[in-house]
Structure 1
Amino acid sequence: MASGVKAIRGMNDILPEESYFWEYFEQTARQWLAAYGYRNIRTPIVEQTDLFIRSIGEVTDIVEKEMYTFIDHLNNDSLTLRPEGTASCARAAIEHNLLYAGPQKLYYAGPMFRHERPQKGRYRQFHQVGVEALGYAGPDIDAELIVMCVRLWKLLGISNLRLEISTLGNTESRTLHRSRLLKYFERHRDKLDEDSLRRLYTNPLRILDSKNPGMQQIIENAPRLIDDLDSESWSHFESLQRILRERGINYDINLRLVRGLDYYNRTVFEWVTDKLGAQGTVCAGGRYDGLVEQMGGKSTPACGFAMGVERLLSLMQECGKKIHQPDPDIYIVYQGDEQVVDYAWKCAEFLRDEGFDVILHCGGGSFKSQMKKADSSGAVYALIIGNDEFRAQEVTIKPLRELIEQVSLKLSKVAEIINKKDLY
């Protein structure tokens, strides 16, 4: 396919050999979310660009560098492939008046898009599962989000994840901190890199998130937000820690933890690992009490998190989790006239009604060639139908994985016999 059409770099196919691993994760996640009372919401992949500029923040890497934005030439609208799920979820809650019915526990799952340099754990089309708890103000819901994650890690067989938490305070404390940061970085302007200089007067808090090794010393000595924290945010943070301690959940306080989106306030947290190289964050979230009002809705406390599915699947494999596509129960081989063919189809549908996974051979061929395909399919049993079986209105069952002789019997007895695994 050197000159053929290929997938876009960083947007990957998920092949059948991999997809069952995804299906296992998705099924586990749905059951886990239902256990905590979260309901599914599905929002469009494409939104108005202004939604993300207003919610994420104009001076962020996502908006400045990473969004897939284009002009819809039919009506000249600026549209963007969604880079994250919270803004769309909040927009939908406002547009459809969901919050008038009271607090909402919502979850979403699906692809997101960011134009980044593709590498392991970081793709241009990636998948997230996220939850949004809208209308909950107390630290108890913040703690429940973290407790939820602990349960999921156990269900998925993931170990060695470390929880980091912090608080960003309220708008007033961040404004005070911003002023102190600005003065500090101005005094060290000659040590700032290009990105930091660009953010100096627009969003100096984002300088703290720089991954440039040459910036780490100046960042380490910068004023700390916790020193400017308001009393209510401090009380909220202490209550969160108390609940986590009572639940036996270990955590580290990371005072330099800065989320990459502007809408966060108070609680922020990340689950990180050292097993995935540079892409160590597998789940991140926090509180965003002002977002819904900022987007035109009523004042609504809110918090949530999002987890990267590709990173979690990689981590599951790193931890030794093995998931295999189950083999079919029965492979039907048949040969004969149209009446035999029709009988084979009826047998296949009958057995599927009984709850079996059945492959009905297609493409013709001798009994010998069909049996080879039955064996290679992984099926536990071959069900053989020829002229003799049709005349007797029976089928012949041949075990493919056990040293047991084949036996002929009425179709109505197949389910009973196979479930008992007794052919005599």
Structure 2
Amino acid sequence: MKPQRCKGMRDLLPAEMAVFRLIMGICRQCFLKWGYQEVRTPVIEYLHLFTSAGTLTPAMLGKVYSFLDWDGWSGERVVLRPDGTIPVARLYTENMEKQGLARLFYSANTFMFEEEGGRPRERWQSGAELIGSESGAADLELIALSLEILEKLGVEDVELRLSHAGIIKILVDKLGLNAGEVSESLAEIDRDSPLYEEILKPLLDLEGKSSGFLKKRRALLLESMPDIAICLDDFLQALELLDSLGFPYRVDIVSGAGFEYYTGMIFQLYQNGEKIGGGGRYDALITSMGGGNIPACGFALYCDRLLKLVKPDLLRSPESPAILVRPRQGSKESIKAAYGLAASLRGVGYIVEIDLGGRRKKKYRWVIKIRGKEALEVRDNTRSIKYEFASSADFLKLLEADSDD
């Protein structure tokens, strides 16, 4: 039996890997232009990083890959990171807290055990964390940055959905719901119950509405849930900022459930009903790790899901035409000449392979046969023309002339 990859894992073949690198490259380029600095965290973290502060829901913690890191005398439970934000917050708390404001970005794989068939257990994401600012403009910056990246990747019809963690937490407490399964629990509430009419329906009626509509309904919402006043005003302020810059969005209060560490506005990015990214504010996370009272917000784009949405032919920069160099088999002098010619061509930017035998499906613009120490026979497969050159210098002149056409 042929070897197989582990369940829930994925191989990326050359064509997919080219798109994957394209996604990572565009993300990195945008992050750097916005003033973010790249960091990298270990794939293994201590389990208590995700449990002591209640940073992930119990349902999510039940799906982590964990094992004992045993040193011969004692051991501690560790996990393959299930999330990208928490390790970066740990990195900041451990190494960078004294510097204050930090704009950080990363590209990382995360792991979550999924029992449902077909769902990936390893996921790649590229994200940014803005640590040290409590301003609503910081949330706005992350939304604008995420949308810019998706635009540069050519992803169309992106829908921005907005929620607020504070409102969700109050809703969960009022209705006695499971924080990790808000959407499912809400669907089971009796539509004729007083709880639905007094508390839930006014919030559900906000779906798809603007800040203006929300402002008009503020008094009505506070009648049934007076304790959401601070969260509601914070949410309104964020919506008004988005309105001022012309960002279209959809209010969807109950859609923001999932991560326990969010404290403020939550945003999610959808394309044709599939979530392709999201983020939010987590002002209490660093404090819960033993750090200072430092506000923060961040987001991540799900690179695996973007693979099928990116149009690489539109985004990939033109590559130099591929060249195949064929030495005479068994001739040491010819092989030496082939390697020297290939090195010269690569030095001026061309993609060059040396023919080592075997079948190949790849198409080459130029095929070069080594005829002697210097002599070359060159075939241009695009124009179906054959050339004879006394030296590689003469062939380089042809390439220069061809690139000018």
**TM bucket by the smaller chain?**
0.7 to 0.9
Residue 307 of structure 2 aligns to a residue whose secondary structure is: helix
Letter in 2 for 1:116: E
Residue 243 in 1 paired to residue 241 in 2?
A: yes
Cα contact 1:67–1:80 (8 A) shared by 2: yes
- Alpha carbons 1:181, 1:222 under 8 Å: kept: no
Per-residue displacement from partner, 1:61-119 (whole Å, max 9, x unpaired)? 211x21111122333210111100111001111111x1311211111112111011355
1:197 counterpart residue number: none
Partner of 2:325: 332
> Aligned to 1:268, which of 250, 266, 269?
266
Q: Which residue of 1 aligns with 2:362?
A: 377
Deviations 1:192-213, CA, capped at 9 Å, x for gaps: xxxxxxxx5xxx4434232785
In the other structure, the counterpart of 1:299 is: 293
**Partner letter of residue 382 of structure 1?**
V
User: The residue matched to 1:209 in structure 2 has which SS?
Assistant: helix
Distance in 2 between the 1:321 and 1:55 partners? 44
TM-score normalised to structure 1 length = 0.80
Any idea what SS the aligned residue of 1:331 has? Answer: strand
Change (3 A) 1:56 1:359: farther
Query: Mean Cα displacement is larger for which, 394-403 or 378-387?
Result: 394-403
Q: Which residues of 2 match residues 164-183 of structure 1 at below 5 A?
A: 164-169=161-166, 177-182=171-176
Q: Note if 1:149 corresponds to 2:143.
A: no
1:214 Cα deviation after fit:
4.2
Distance 2:383 2:41 in 1: 49
2: CA distance between counterparts of 1:413 and 1:216?
Answer: 83
Deviation at residue 350 of structure 1 after TM alignment: 1.1
Query: Unmatched 5+ residue regions in structure 2?
Result: 204-220
Given the superposition, is the C-alpha separation of residues 238 and 347 from structure 1 closer, same or farther in structure 2, using an over 3 Å criterion? same
Query: Alignment partner of 1:43: what SS?
Result: coil
CA contact (8 A) 1:328 1:378 kept: no
Paired-residue identity, %: 24
* Alignment pair present for 1:139 and 2:136: yes
Alignment of 1:225-374 (within 5 A): 227-228=225-226, 231-274=229-272, 280-316=274-310, 329-335=322-328, 337-363=331-357
SS in 2 for 1:421: helix
Q: Give the secondary structure class of the aligned counterpart of 2:234.
A: helix
Separation (CA, whole Å) in 2 of partners of 1:84 and 1:124: 12
Residue pair 2:370, 2:377 contacting (<8 A) in 1 also = yes
**Which sections of structure 1, spanning at least 5 residues, go unmatched?**
183-199, 364-369
2:379 is the counterpart of 1:398? yes
Give the alignment of 1:103-252 within 5 angstroms.
103-118=101-116, 122-169=119-166, 177-182=171-176, 200=177, 204-210=178-184, 214=188, 217=191, 223=199, 227-228=225-226, 231-252=229-250
Distance of aligned partners of 1:320 and 1:265 in 2 relative to their CA distance in 1, 3 Å threshold: farther
Is 2:33 the counterpart of 1:35?
yes
Match of 1:25 among 23, 26, 48: 23
| Post-superposition offset of 1:57 | 3.8
Residues 283 and 58 of structure 1: is their aligned pair in 2 closer, same or farther, counting only changes over 3 Å?
A: closer
* Structure 1 Cα separation of the partners of residues 404 and 159 of structure 2: 53
Please tell me whether the aligned partners of residues 124 and 302 of structure 2 are also in contact (alpha carbons under 8 angstroms).
Answer: yes
RMSD: 3.1
Q: CA deviation at 1:307?
A: 1.9
C-alpha distance in 2, partners of 1:156/1:180?
42
Measure, in 2, the Cα distance between the counterparts of 1:386 and 1:320. Answer: 37
Q: Which runs of 4+ in 1 moved over 6 A?
A: 319-325
Letter in 1 for 2:123: F
Summarize the Cα distance change of 1:337–1:409 in structure 2 as closer, same or farther, 3 Å threshold.
Answer: same
C-alpha contact 1:46 1:81 (8 A) present in aligned 2 = yes
Shift of 1:423: 12
Pairs within 5 Å for 1:60-99: 60-63=58-61, 65-74=62-71, 75-96=74-95, 98-99=96-97
Contact map agreement 2:168 2:254 (CA 8 A) in 1 = no
- Residues 340 and 158 of structure 1: is their aligned pair in 2 closer, same or farther, counting only changes over 3 Å? same
Amino acid at match of 1:386: R
CA distance change for structure 1 residues 119 and 245 in 2, over 3 Å: closer, same or farther? farther
Q: Is the 8 A contact 1:328 1:359 kept in 2?
A: no
- Distance in 2 of aligned mates of 1:160 and 1:124: 27
Change (3 A) 1:406 1:221: farther
| 3-state SS in 1 of match to 2:157 | coil
The separation in 1 between residues aligned to 2:185 and 2:158, in whole angstroms, is: 21
Answer whether contact 1:127 1:309 (CA < 8 A) is retained.
yes
Q: In the alignment, is the contact (CA less than 8 A) between 1:20 and 1:323 conserved in 2?
A: no
